[in-house]
Amino acid sequence: MKTRAKSAIVMAPLLVIVFLGGYFLIAGTVVLTILALREFSSAFGEKKPAMWVLWASVAVLYGGYLIPKIHSYILLPWIFVSLLMCFVAMFAMEKRDFFQGMATITGVFYVIFLSFHIVLVDESFTKPLELGGGFTLSGIHSYVWIVILSAFGTDIFAYFTGMLVGSRKLCPSISPKKTVEGAIGGVLGSLVLCGLFGYFLLPAGFANCIAIGLIGGVVAQLGDLSASVMKRKIGIKDWGALIPGHGGILDRIDSILFTAPLVFYILMLKATLVGA
Give the residue from 168, 178, 155 showing the smallest Cα distance to 247: 155
pLDDT in tens, 172-181: 999 999 999 9
Dihedrals phi, psi of 66, to nearest 5 degrees: -85, -5
What pLDDT, on a 0 to 100 scale, did the predictor assign at position 207? Answer: 95
Going through the chain in order, the beta strands assigned E by DSSP cover 129-130, 136-137, 169-171, 175-179
CB-CB contact of 53 with 101 (8 Å):
no
Give the residue from 237, 210, 22, 229 showing the smallest Cα distance to 131: 22
Q: Total domain count for the chain?
A: 1
Amino acid letter for position 26: I
Q: What is the mean pLDDT of residues 30-55?
A: 95
Q: What's the CA gap between 187 and 9, in Å, rounded? A: 27
| CA-based R_g, the chain, Å | 19
> In residues, how long is the chain?
276
Q: What's the CA gap between 22 and 13, in Å, rounded? A: 15
Q: What's the CA gap between 212 and 260, in Å, rounded? A: 10
Tell which wins on pLDDT, 142 or 242.
142
Boundaries of domain holding 102: 2-274
Going through 53-202 in order, the beta strands assigned E by DSSP cover 129-130, 136-137, 169-171, 175-179
Q: What's the CA gap between 169 and 143, in Å, rounded? A: 33
- Give the pLDDT band of residue 151 (cuts 50, 70, 90): very high
Q: Specify the 3-state DSSP secondary structure of 253.
A: helix
Question: Residue 166: exposed, middle, or buried by beta-carbon count in 10 A (0-12, 13-18, 19+)?
Answer: buried
pLDDT in tens, 120-145: 999 999 988 888 777 889 999 999 99
pTM over 0.85: yes
What pLDDT, on a 0 to 100 scale, did the predictor assign at position 4? Answer: 44
